């Protein structure tokens, strides 16, 4: 029997937590709910999960610290918060969040985003052979990315973007195409969101925007993976 997808869900509002947990469990997910950051932090450090959902404002800590811990474990993460400005959303993305849902929200919307994020994560495992581009190696089977033999800590979205581009060498992929391929065409994903994630990815690759080795920017057109594949 296939193991259930395990989700860590951190929300201190009991009513919201009860409703969303019910919706998630109806989809067959195993939900581990915590109402404070301290207990959630211990769980993240000692248990394995497939996806995380964090509120930002929490007792005994905050969701930002939990997000950073989740990112260090390469755990796909969704932030759920009352903060609704674009700068807040971009800050969450910059810290490694894969998605961002603003309160008040529909539980069905969150479930849909969970399904989309899990689908993106699972899709990147379809190719097993390691992809090698000089010092950069990508293993879709293990989702391990190394640069000069050193592992890179990529978020699930950064990894999905890297795979999407690396599997289309020399092809200029527009922002619209990336939104369709990586975010399944989500209507609230903007060009600026795409650029933020690509900037974070390029920083981790130690790639220069002016003299890129891996990802080139074509203004008004999109992004291009330019590194040559090696044996």
For residue 52, what are its two tokens? 């995380």
Q: Work out whether strand 6-10 and strand 30-34 pair parallel, antiparallel, or are unpaired.
A: parallel
Cα gap 51→212, rounded to integer Å: 32
pLDDT tens, position by position, 110-125: 999 899 888 877 655 5
Q: pLDDT class for 204, splitting at 50, 70, 90? A: very high
Looking at per-residue pLDDT, the higher value among 115 and 91 belongs to 115
Q: pLDDT class for 42, splitting at 50, 70, 90? A: very high
Looking at residue 130, the DSSP 8-state letter turns out to be P
Q: pLDDT class for 22, splitting at 50, 70, 90? A: very high
Q: How far are the Cα atoms of 44, 66, 144 from residue 73, in angstroms, in the given order?
A: 9, 11, 12
All structural domains of the chain, each given as residue ranges with its CATH number in brackets, are: 6-126 (3.40.50.2300), 131-225 (1.10.10.10)
């Amino acid at each position: 029997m296939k193991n259930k997808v395990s989700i860590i869900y951190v929300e201190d509002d009991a009513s919201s937590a009860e409703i969303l947990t019910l919706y998630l469990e109806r989809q067959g997910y195993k939900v581990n709910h915590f109402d404070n950051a301290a207990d959630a932090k211990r769980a993240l450090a000692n248990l394995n999960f497939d996806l995380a959902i964090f509120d930002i404002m929490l007792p005994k800590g905050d969701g930002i610290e939990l997000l950073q811990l989740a990112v260090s474990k390469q755990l796909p993460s969704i932030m759920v918060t009352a903060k609704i400005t674009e700068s807040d959303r971009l800050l969450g993305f910059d810290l490694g969040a894969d998605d961002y849902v603003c309160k008040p929200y529909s539980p069905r919307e969150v479930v849909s985003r969970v399904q989309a994020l899990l689908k993106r994560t699972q899709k990147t495992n379809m190719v097993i052979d390691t992809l090698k581009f000089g010092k950069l190696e990508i293993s879709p089977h293990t989702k391990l990315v190394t640069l000069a033999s050193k592992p890179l800590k990529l978020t699930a979205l950064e990894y999905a973007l890297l795979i999407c581009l690396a599997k289309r060498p020399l092809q200029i992929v527009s922002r619209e195409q990336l939104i369709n391929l990586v975010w399944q065409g989500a209507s609230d994903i903007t060009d600026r969101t795409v650029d933020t994630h690509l900037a974070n990815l390029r920083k981790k690759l130690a790639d220069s925007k002016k003299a890129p080795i891996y990802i080139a920017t074509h203004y008004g057109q999109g992004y291009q993976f330019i590194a040559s594949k090696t044996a």
